[in-house]
Amino acid sequence: MQSIMRHFAIAFIFAWFCAPASAQQVTISVGSVTKYSGIATNEQDIKDIKALNEFLNTLESQLAKEFLTRGDIDYLDRMNTEAIFNELHLSQNSAFNASSGALRGLLGRLDFLVVIDSAEPTTARVRLIDVESGAVKAIETCKRKSSFFGITQEGVPDCVAPFVTRARDVARVKMAAKAERLRQKAAQDQATKQKSAAEQKALIKEQQKARAQAESQANEQARALAQAQAEKAALDDQISALRPDFDDAVARLSSANDFWNNLSRQLASSGQSLRTDVRTALNSANSDGNRCEAFLSQRNANGVETCLAKLNRDLDKLDGFK
């Protein structure tokens, strides 16, 4: 029986497109479905299902026509409607039950769902359900029109016009809310874009600053290296210029040491010794020689030059003692 009932659950959907807000189109979509809500317990009930199904389909068509005459409506055919419900895996029992959470599955596809259900061929209940909240926003009881003699007629039931009017009023409120959400989203996107642009600009500026600092440091290092190389070259020139004087002074010192050491040995053999002033001058000269050699190994040109001047003065004094 469940399978039979599924075949009688016929769904139609139509989209109600409203004016665009800002730069983005605001769309209000309304889907309409029919549903047999009775229980077939005997053969007569099953026979009545055909008449009931015709009543529901006719009522749905009358509602769709009323919507189309009230505004800019875009109608989707039955195949597209069935594709949506098959994609969402909605069964007859869950598709129209707000408490089951099935309506939540329609978010992004529908804003409102019109549920037309009936258990008998002459009366139907029409509800407008907000897909987002599951709340019933409009409800009408529709009675099939009949003549004075009780003959069924296919005229538009009195419930259709007020239901569509109420549905359009609710949809306008929904459209305003969606437009506001779109506006806020656009503002948020714009703020995010501006923030990102500002951050990117700051990053580029920081990178440029870092590159400038790196270039400045590289230039400073290059200047320091060039200066160090120039100073080294100048020092090499000074040391090279002092080398002949140093070699001459060392040679004089060596000769002086040979002379005064030989004289000291000769005097010692006869019980005599060098005078105190000679020994003092000789010791000073040897001390100066050691200092001059140390300055030269340290590449201290000024120290070498000063030391050589004093060494030569000591050697001159020793020459004077001869």
Instruction: Concatenate the DSSP letters of all residues of 99-150 into one string.
Output: GGTGGGGGTTT-SEEEEEEEEETTEEEEEEEETTT--EEEEEEEE--B-TT-
Q: Please state the domain extents for the chain.
A: 2-158, 229-321
User: So what's the pLDDT on residue 97?
Assistant: 46
**Dihedral sign (CA 308, 310, 314, 319):** positive
pLDDT, tens digit (0-9, with 9 covering 90-100), for 73-102: 554 544 455 555 555 544 444 444 444 444
pLDDT at residue 25 greater than cutoff 90: no
Judge whether residue 226 has pLDDT over 90: yes
| Per-residue pLDDT at 71 | 67
Mean pLDDT of 197-216: 93
Give the per-residue pLDDT at 24.
58
| 2-158 fold | Rossmann fold (3.40.50)
Residue 82: the pLDDT is 56
Q: Which residue has the higher pLDDT, 254 or 146?
A: 254
Q: Which amino acid is residue 197, in one-letter code? A: A
**271's tokens:** 């019980």
* 69 vs 109, higher pLDDT: 69
pLDDT band at 302 (very low <50, low <70, confident <90, very high): very high
User: Distance between CA atoms of 215 and 211, rounded to whole angstroms?
Assistant: 6
Name the band, by pLDDT with cuts 50, 70 and 90, for residue 57: confident
Tokens of 95: 């598709």
Beta carbons of 162 and 140 less than 8 angstroms apart:
yes
Give the chain's mean pLDDT.
79
Q: Tens digit of pLDDT for each residue in 133-177?
A: 888 999 999 998 765 444 455 678 889 999 988 988 888 888 888
